[in-house]
Amino acid sequence: MSVKLSSEQLMDRWEDQREIKNLMGRLASDYCIKREGEMYGKYWSRRPDVCLGINAGWYDGAEAVEGYYRSLHEKTAHQSRIVAKNFPKELGDKTKAELHGVGSMDYKPIDTALVEIAGDGNTAKGIWTFRGSHSQITDRGPISYWEWGWFAADFIREGDEWKIWHLQYLHDILNQQGSRLYGEPVSFPELPEFKGADAFEMRPPNRPMKLRELYGIDRKFTPSPRVPEPYDTFGNTFTYGIQEGA
């Protein structure tokens, strides 16, 4: 894109980039405070062709993406009830809302942002890395995990706001802390007081496929998701959504 932009256009472009970076920062913060159930409504486009890609495949369409976040919320609620049952003295006077997320954490700091706004101002693209950790309540008690990977997204302007249109949430490393960053984790015995914590099953992608392989000594060189480049309109660039024929 070689069009020379005016000072006013450059300022608009800067404000758009700031809003998109703030959107993703809020998304990461909501993971940390266990507000997964609000994420779809707050950050996602209302278009029917939204999609979310994880290592195991695509949540394709509005119902599937909304269902993914609802499933995360329900999983947190399930684990919170088990923690509350085990600590009645400490947690017995807490409300259901106050108990949500107790005993778990999802710290997902994002950085190395690269955001490109389309020349027509209607869409944008961005990529971030995250290097964080999260904890889960399991049949073996609370266990923490390393979590490193990528967010790569297409955004679309709806009214005066930017919304997520397509999002890839891909892991390179997702393994238990106290173990290697890849391979079989250290094994812990099951604890009867936490029985049933693993019973909740996340809603799977409705288009299962391998989008990214976790890091391991046998993994071939795997580049990052494609980095955004300047573009004029969305029809003249690549997508972070589902590729034709995928």
Encode pLDDT of 121-134 as tens digits: 999 999 999 999 99
What is residue 103's predicted lDDT score, i.e. its pLDDT? Answer: 86
Among the residue ranges 72-76, 87-91, 168-172, the one predicted with the least confidence is 87-91
Neighbours of 213 (CB within 10 A): 14
Nearby residues of 10 by Cβ (< 8 Å), 6 or more positions away: none
φ and ψ at residue 89, rounded to 5 degrees: -65, -45
**Contact of 177 with 146, CB cutoff 8 Å:** yes
Parse the chain into domains and list their residue ranges.
Answer: 7-236
Find out if CATH 2.60.200.30 is the number for domain 7-236. Answer: no
**Contact of 150 with 130, CB cutoff 8 Å:** yes
Q: Helix axis angle, 36-43 relative to 62-86, nearest 10°?
A: 150
Report the C-alpha dihedral over residues 192, 98, 174, 194, rounded to 10 degrees. Answer: 0
The 3-state DSSP class for residue 6 equals coil
Encode pLDDT of 93-116 as tens digits: 889 889 999 988 899 999 999 999
Nearby residues of 214 by Cβ (< 8 Å), 6 or more positions away: 55, 171, 172, 173, 174, 175, 182
Encode pLDDT of 180-226 as tens digits: 889 888 899 999 999 999 999 999 999 999 999 999 999 999 999 99
Helix then strand then coil, % of the chain, to nearest 5 = 30, 30, 40
For residue 18, name the pLDDT band (cuts at 50, 70, 90). Answer: very high
**Contact of 179 with 206, CB cutoff 8 Å:** no
